[in-house]
Amino acid sequence: MTIHPTALVDAQAKLGRDVTIGPFTIVHGNVEIGDGSVIESHCEIGHPTPLADGSRLSIGAASVIRSHSVFYEGSNFGEGLKTGHRVIVREGTRAGRGLQIGVGSEIQGDCTIGDHTRMQSDVLIGKVSRIGSFVWMFPRSGMLNDPMPPSNILNGAQIDSYAVIGAYSFLMPGVTVGEGAFVGVCTTVSRAVAPHRIVCGDPMVDKGSTERLRLPGSRLPARPWTRHFHRGYPEEVIRGWISEAQTLTSHLSGGEAAAGTWQENKTAR
Amino acid sequence: MKHLAPMANIHRTALVDPEAMLGRNVSIGPFTIVHSNVEIGDDTMIGSHCELGVATPLSNGSPLSIGNNSLIRSHSVFYQGSSFGPELEAGHRITVREGTKAGVNFRVGTLSDLQGNSTFGDYVRLHSNVHVGKGTHVGSFVWIFPYVVLTNDPTPPSETRMGCTVADFAVIATMCVVLPGVHVGSGALIGAGSNVTKDVSPERIACGSPAIDKGPASRVMLRDGSGPAYPWREQFHRGYPEEVVQGWLNELKRFAT
């Protein structure tokens, strides 16, 4: 365990093996940090709030919280959480494994997030949002929750697994973006998006199936993205994606040849 | 450049690695961390709660280099592997990743997020909350206003990186998104809230979502009735050195005759 001499760590905090706490960071008492995690400088971890009803902030093993971030008590994160600088996470956030939260993002709490979801810089997640696994949210995108602000109504939005939300796009309160759907940049998602559809613009327009998307300079399909983009995901997850793709291809075209194309494509990278 | 500044300028709570190269008269604010792989030029001021020279394998060991007479305001984070010319001026809470190269008098507003592997010419102005994706190339004398996002991945998520380019003297107004690989021509003006999906020719106006061509930028008049607003270097000179301004005026005169 490495705690910088300038860090303030409450004696009640439960720190796992080989946890590192950076300079000028404050760790409050109601906190549990898993083995091998790194909390960088200038952070505040387990900020007290009556809204957490005394429940603890729990951060899984092998996590990295970058400098200047603030986490309130009363949230749970699986192992391998990774944040950028200046992330703010409020109470009642429940996230699975491998969540990535980009620089300057804000999670307002009382929300659920699946496994291996990735948020880039300055993402805003309103209270009572629901996010699946392997979701991507690009810079400045967000999820709203109050249909007639300001009001006491909290109607969270939902993003299903493998969906991708482009830069500057916002989900209006209560809408759902279906599995594998692609929301283009600057879109106001004002109604439900069916799985595997492309939508964009404000007002939002349906642009057809995600099967249409091609990688630039090639005729290879860009969807599902799990066939060509694997960076940073655990090996067993990638293996699952590859075998699923192979099964699917041999089903559809009955050919080893088609499955081979993916393999070649993968090796080419 | 001297090894280690006089202690008087380093706040007693700051953590400065003895390997860091600090020029003459550098000041470091309270609770700031300066790592080893950092070179800071003469007369530069670093505010409080900053972290400079954050280690990353992606920088291939190259240092963070900050020119003379610079100012970095509080709570900013700069990774190693970037270089800035003299007179860098940075707002509060800025993040700059490795591989960012900027020329003379680069100004970056509060909360901006520079993802690295990007180049900026001389006298570039970024207002607050500007997000610059990896692989972006920005010329000299460019203005980018608050909340602009410069993107780089045409089919996210993918390994394709197509950074956008913004040529000299271009102006991108607030809340715009520039899509991957788009080239904004020199002296072009992008209206507020635009979604720039294709290249913009030099000295043209583009706006809307998707952005469409609205004619030559010289059509836009100053509201005080004193003449055309563009090219802006004809009428706006604040903060640029005299010889630069003289150069612009001579060039415009030549062009006119």
Mean pLDDT of B123-139: 98
**What three-state secondary structure class fits B149?**
strand
CA distance A18 to A241: 33
Picking from B77, B160, B195, the nearest residue to A85 by CB comes out as: B77
ipTM entry: 0.89
Query: Mean pLDDT across chain B, nearest whole number?
Result: 95
| Bridge partners of residue B100, in order along the sequence | B118
Q: Which of residues 143-162 of B touch A (CB under 8 A)?
A: 147, 149, 151, 154-160, 162
Q: Provide the token pair at A147.
A: 């249909």
Distance from CA of A139 to the nearest CA of B (A): 8
CA distance A229 to B156: 9
Q: Is A216 on the interface with B (CB under 8 A)?
A: yes
Mean pLDDT of A100-126: 98
Mean pLDDT of B208-229: 95
CA distance B24 to B40: 9
To 5 degrees, how large is the angle CA A177–CA A179–CA A183? 45
Closest of B143, B99, B105, B144 to residue B122, by C-alpha: B105
Tell if the CB–CB gap between A6 and B177 is shorter than 8 Å: no
**In this structure, which amino acid lies at residue B51?**
E
pTM, entire model: 0.92
Nearest Cα residue in chain A from B147: A140
- Say how many C-beta atoms besides its own lie within 10 A of residue B58's C-beta: 13
* Model pLDDT, residue A250: 73
Q: Is B75 on the interface with A (CB under 8 A)?
A: yes
DSSP string, B82-139: -EE-TT-EE-SS-EE-TTEEE-TT-EE-TT-EE-SSEEE-SS-EE-TT-EE-TT-EE-
Residue length of chain B = 257
CA distance A94 to A130: 10
**In this structure, which amino acid lies at residue A1?**
M
Q: Is the pLDDT of residue A269 over 50?
A: no
- Say how many C-beta atoms besides its own lie within 10 A of residue A46's C-beta: 27
CA distance A117 to A125: 13
| Bridge partners of residue B131, in order along the sequence | B113, B149
* Model pLDDT, residue A247: 85
Mean pLDDT of A194-202: 96
Closest of B135, B51, B33 to residue B93, by C-alpha: B51
Residues of B in contact with A216 (CB under 8 A): 154-155, 160, 162
Cis peptide bond prior to B210, omega within 30° of 0: yes
- Contact in structure between B229 and B221 (CB atoms under 8 Å): yes
| Bridge partners of residue A130, in order along the sequence | A112, A158
Q: Is A162 on the interface with B (CB under 8 A)?
A: no
Residue length of chain A = 269
* Model pLDDT, residue B256: 80
B255: pLDDT confidence band, cut at 50, 70 and 90?
confident
pLDDT tens-place string over residues A143-181: 999 998 899 999 999 999 999 999 999 999 999 999 999
Q: How far is CA A213 from the centre of its chain?
A: 23
CA distance A221 to A242: 15
Closest of A231, A227, A266 to residue A82, by C-alpha: A231
Query: Mean pLDDT across chain A, nearest whole number?
Result: 93
CA distance A185 to A188: 9
Picking from B51, B159, B177, the nearest residue to A229 by CB comes out as: B159
- Contact in structure between B60 and B42 (CB atoms under 8 Å): no
* Model pLDDT, residue A1: 86
* Model pLDDT, residue A248: 78
Q: Is A82 on the interface with B (CB under 8 A)?
A: no
Residues of B in contact with A67 (CB under 8 A): 51, 54, 77
H/E segment holding residue B213: strand B212-216
Tell if the CB–CB gap between A24 and B158 is shorter than 8 Å: no
Closest of A26, A24, A45 to residue B75, by C-alpha: A24
The residue behind tokens 């050919």 is A255
Integer angstrom CA distances of residue A24 from A3, A53, A57, B80: 10, 27, 19, 21
B7: pLDDT confidence band, cut at 50, 70 and 90?
very low
pLDDT tens-place string over residues B154-202: 999 999 999 999 999 999 999 999 999 999 999 999 999 999 999 999 9
Q: Is A168 on the interface with B (CB under 8 A)?
A: yes
* Model pLDDT, residue A145: 96
